[in-house]
Structure 1
């Protein structure tokens, strides 16, 4: 099975929207190649103002911790260099994309990496899950966890394992030999009733192409 290398990322933030002045306080990310986590990135960052008691309680990230952390601008420069131009993955990707783009704009950088959402894709591949929150999916899929959530690297790693589980399903259930990143993006846009037929037709097309080229899948 051929799958693209991706960066799976997660932000912990001071609130819900950069348009309201909220900023990241932690970024965590993993690089996945050939269905394995091969590298990690994690950093706390100082947003330049005090964070609320609610965020402290939710994340366990205190004002004392971020007081000694580097500023957002420094961390985001390092993170942008680390992720390069690889495709991006996040759980509830619109949230993380908004903060990523806002922070990059503040330091005069722009990266147009394509992005896929594991919430949207998991709704199509795991409709039987009670819901599609990260903790629920991790439990539903039997992914090992130490119980840590709402910390950026832990959430990025768990999202990475959900991503790997989704590519495994596409391979095992549908016999796909190649899983392009655009397919993972498209899953979130296809109506639930049409997903199975769409994927079976794609698998048939791949087999036809392999047969025409004289290449046989393992």
Structure 2
């Protein structure tokens, strides 16, 4: 599960003592786990905040509570606190938090989703857009759904062919092409307006 260094336990224990609340602990949960944005959130945990499904890690003088749905992503995590003249720095290392690169035996769907989340969506996010996988046909065509600034965008065809398709074909040999299943007429905030006469 999670291991805390002595300095991290000491840091949390002092914070909890300042709260003067019986049964106070520390709660940790994963935010957007399994994606490149995966992160950890720490907060105080009072007895009334807990529902009994959390995993409890007993520490010196307090307990750390891990949300049950975060356990797979925080297994093997380490928490350390480095003191400095200006205070200190808390470091959490969680190898499984952002997911792992799919292996050679992973399905095409897993590999396509991984490339979408780690390479394509971070680029589209600069335009307020995103893309999600709808399906992959037997012929290897990846059917995508655009959203955000990409829905209704006048440049989506260029993005689809010049960016998304090129990247997916380079990374995953089984991909033969991409297709767009998005209803672009319902887009409310396109990054580039479409030509009404097109």
- Normalized against structure 2, the TM-score is what? 0.26
Larger Rg over CA atoms: 2
Q: Which structure has more RCO (C-alpha within 8 Å, separation ≥ 6)?
A: 1
More helix by share: 1
- Normalized against structure 1, the TM-score is what? 0.24
More strand by share: 2
